[in-house]
Amino acid sequence: MATSVPAVNEAAIKDTETGKVVEGEGWFILNLAEASWERDPDLGIWLDLGAANARFSQFGIGPHRLMPGQPNGRYHAESAQEGFLVLAGECLAIVEGEERHMRQWDYLHCPPGTHHITVGAGDGPCVILMVGNRAPDVTTQYTVNELAARYGASAPHDTDSSKEAYADLARTATPERAPWPPRE
């Protein structure tokens, strides 16, 4: 006998000055060009597809736009796997202390414990779809790396504290209208 699965409600989507925002839990459909993205002057522009007050409990996913020379964060390794798919443009992946060039449709898979960071490259913006685990028991280790430091992407010292790893950055994320995908 089959067991009954309870119905899942649709999440509310709210219109804001900077675009649509998902509120609450549940399923939803959201056009990325209509969504409210976040900008950090040091770390690019991104869209977290989990709602601000009801983040996806099992994984995170979202596009991140970087300009040439701009890192998306600090060189680190997580206790869960992550994946990075270049949707447009070019970037550098610094993985286990090595620099690798990535272009549109290249995919980087990072098993748990892989030290990595991405940095925008080429002549224009790079957009990367980032996917990773967001369970509460996932840990992150920020490691000093000379190559990452050339791009402003290394923590000042080894730490497992994001507050310490980003202490020298303002970390001022502000909402804004979608910079990508290009509107027709």
CATH code of the domain covering residue 152: 2.60.120.10
Q: Is residue 8 part of a domain?
A: no
Of residues 158, 135, 4, 132, the one with CA closest to residue 74 = 158
pLDDT-derived band at 13, boundaries 50, 70, 90: very high
**Structure tokens, 174:** 């502000």
pLDDT at residue 51, rounded to an integer: 55
CA distance 127 to 121: 11
Instruction: Report, as an integer, the average pLDDT of 166-176.
Output: 89
The share of the chain scoring above pLDDT 90, in percent, equals 72
Task: Provide the domain count of the chain.
Answer: 1
**Alpha helices (H) in the chain, listed in sequence order:** 146-149, 162-165
**pLDDT 10s digits, 126-143:** 999 999 987 788 899 999
Mean pLDDT to the nearest integer, 156-182: 89
- Residue 84's domain spans which residues? 41-172
- Determine the pLDDT at residue 76: 98
Contact 122, 128 (CB under 8 A): no
What's the pLDDT band for 54 if we cut at 50, 70, 90? low
Q: What is the mean pLDDT of residues 158-178?
A: 92
State the pLDDT at residue 180: 72
- Lowest model confidence (mean pLDDT) among 3-7, 9-13, 144-148, 154-158: 3-7
CA distances 71 to 3, 13, 84, 93, 112, Å, are: 47, 30, 14, 10, 21
With respect to residue 132, please indicate whether it lies within any of the assigned structural domains: yes
